[in-house]
Chain A
Amino acid sequence: MGVKTLLSHSLRIAWKDLVELFRNRLGLVLLILMPLFMMVMVGFIYPSSGTTATNLPVAIVNEDAGFNNSTIASQAFIMTLQQINSHSSMMALSNASSAADIKSMVQKGDIEGGIIIPSNFTASFATGQQGTLIIVTDQSNPQVSAVIQGTLSAVFTQMGTALAQMNVQNLNPALNSTTSLAVVQPYKITMQGVVAGTPSYFDFIAPGIMAMTVMMSVMTGLPVAISQEKEVGTLDGMMVAPINRLSIILGKTLAQTARGLLQGVVILILAAGLFGVVINGSILLVFALLLLGVFSFVGLGIVITSFAKDQETAQMAMMTLMFPMMFLSGVFFPIQQMPWYMQDISKVLPLTYASQALRKVMVLGAGIPDITTELAVLIGFGIVMTAIAVPVFKRMMTR
């Protein structure tokens, strides 16, 4: 049987699957909603570096007893804090009556954190000591308290710098504001990305989710689609036709790939249109990478197909494989954040390389020479898995 007939049968089967897919209205709607939900959920839940938290409810209490009837230092501090906050609106500031009041407000959940200006604040300055400030955090929510801590520290550093600048200028009136800053802070840090624009978390997850969705569609969709036909009995109809067994799996793979790519396009449109992700690389390369990802996963899908006797088993196999891949392949979290042993596991998962390559291309505008390692891993994994899968599948079909 020639390659041409094999392909024409495959296309016929793929077409049949897609007609079925498109006539299933609800399924089609869900197909588009799924990536949308995933993007919205993951994108908004996890904090992105570009847009830090805003309007965190924070209370402030001034217990400054003053020095010589003057509370100049604490008043200046509060004024500067409000000034800075009015620019960035990181916090929603409110006043509390006492330190104890702040604690009870945190316990009630009215505020996420508090700032206490102790009674000796102005006195410390007047006597030439450091002024201490106390930040109260909500330990039940470490993530938010970390954000508050970070935010307030930034504010205090800024204020401290301004204060120091003033002092330096007092000491040496010859210095202006720029030169005094150079004395206080000799180092200045400027961030510069590889590409223009501020990075957002969507830039990170959009390529990952795309890679995951497309590859999962063959790895999991394929076993489910075939075991379903096996259960209903329609697979027999194809099996008694004088066609090459491979055209069944090829046709099914084509249909699942098309489905996965459709979802990938939905994600791409959502990411670019709704979440402002800028695609810096070539779109063609993005799709080529997705197809390569499909190739590297199809073998795994076929192996699951061959071993899963019914739909339920196939679905369970899918969940078992999908979860570790989702979380260990750097789709949602950078793998660099994981402990070393988890990083090692993630290095053997092909999805890691697929999402990494896709991220490089989409966000950083990388070309083929920049992703040769990823390409080599994906191609190698695909060849090995296919070599295992085809004989296994042929045996399964004629048991």
Chain B
Amino acid sequence: MTKAGVSLEEKSQTKTNQPNESIISVQNLTKIFNDFAAVDGISFDVRKGEIFGLLGPNGAGKSTTLRMLSTLARPTKGTATIGGYDIVKNDTDVRKLIGIVSEKMIMYNRLTAKEDLIFFGKLFNIPKDILDKRIDELLELVKLTQWKNSQVGTFSTGMRQRMNVIRALLNMPQVLFLDEPTLGLDPQSSVEIREFIKKLNRENGTTIIITTHMMVEADLLCDRIGIMDHAKIVALDTSTNLKKMISGADTTILDLEIGNLTPPIIEAIRTCKCTDAVTQENSTHLRIIVHGEEAFDSVIDTVREKDGKINSIQSLQPTLEDVFLHITGHQVRDSADQKIPNEMRHRRFGAPAQGRTR
């Protein structure tokens, strides 16, 4: 994890000229449920103003980490500070600094949007005039103004998630925790939420910690990504650097489209000395992993020698999925449907899920 420092500097300099001080510092944080370690001695720092992602499969310990950082669960061992306050000893001070968007919708269905926001705002002791103004602004920001006097129970899932997000922003938190914020949303709503998060980060400088099991989402949003698996952080770096870990500068992944693809052509490419692996994707596409400086040229030469007709050639980036596979040796069960409502409904019957309810 020492690599992280160098790479981050490049990135944060291109982004803004924010100071590199850390706002969250986590040391050896551990949570044990009965005999099972949900989070096992993780340590990391989050810098002010960055979007930090915790990526990993279900049950990796992401949500438990977030719950500990947001003072909803007590760590079994280890410490963490947010803005200099200890999450256990100064929990009330920490709460003033943070906002949390849980995967569960935190709102009361029988209250109207405005009443809901007033209720939570008042718990933060925000004076009435300021609160009213802020609620109007936030509702306007997520285009819910016209529904402000409707009961939240009548809202669509997308509207509810937008409510869920602005509720967390009532106290203008310096740090915003988002636990699977796009879970169960359609692509369009997901994009809206992601854009909103980015805007918030860009304009208000809010530090954002997001958990997700969706590789694409982490890739799109996060400045740095911590990959969690089996209660531990197994890698932490920028998306680019993580990908470099497997590819290295020398290896290239090529997507080759050949109009008249024949077995002899594939065989010729396979025997080419720069080729590491060839996979046929469909009748015209090949995915080739090659190495060396002249790899590009020699592949093209080989195809032309066999009278192959190249329609297109493309250099592919390794995905975070490749990275995860490389580091953990197993695949992320990357399906958004795995974790949604069913689990909530059946939770009471299943002991393992308890870790998450706390």
Contact = CB atoms under 8 A, between A and B. Distances in A.
- Indicate, yes or no, whether A interacts with B: yes
Interface of A: 1, 5, 9, 12, 16, 19-20, 23-24, 230-234, 236-243, 309-310, 312, 398-399
Contact of B120 (A23, A230, A237): A237
B123 A12 contact: yes
Contacts of A234: 104, 106-108
Contact of B119 (A1, A16, A309, A312): A16
Contacts of A243: 123
A19 B92 contact: no
Contact of B104 (A12, A233, A242): A233
Interface in B18-66: none
A233 B123 contact: no
Looking at chain A's contact residues, is the secondary structure mostly helix, strand, loop, or mixed?
helix
A23 B110 CA distance: 7
Which are the 10 A-B pairs with shortest beta-carbon distances? A233-B104, A237-B106, A241-B123, A242-B95, A23-B110, A20-B110, A242-B92, A310-B348, A242-B96, A398-B74
A237 B357 contact: no
A12 B122 contact: yes
A23 B151 contact: yes
Given A1-B92, A240-B72, A16 B108 contact: yes
B275 interface: no
Contacts of B120: 237, 241
A243 B95 CA distance: 9
Interface string B61-99: 000000000111110000000000000000111011011
Pick the most buried of B99, B108, B111: most chain A CB atoms within 10 A of its CB: B108
B111 to A, nearest CB: 6
B322 interface: no
A241 B151 CA distance: 22
B115 A236 contact: no
B108 to A, nearest CB: 6
B193 interface: no
Nearest to B74: A398
B50 to A, nearest CB: 21
A237 B151 CA distance: 18
B358 interface: yes
A9 B95 CA distance: 15
B100 interface: yes
A239 B68 CA distance: 12
A254 to B, nearest CB: 15
A237 B167 contact: yes
Contact of B354 (A1, A231, A309): A309
Contacts of A12: 119, 122-123
Contacts of A310: 347-348
A20 B123 CA distance: 17
B102 A5 contact: no
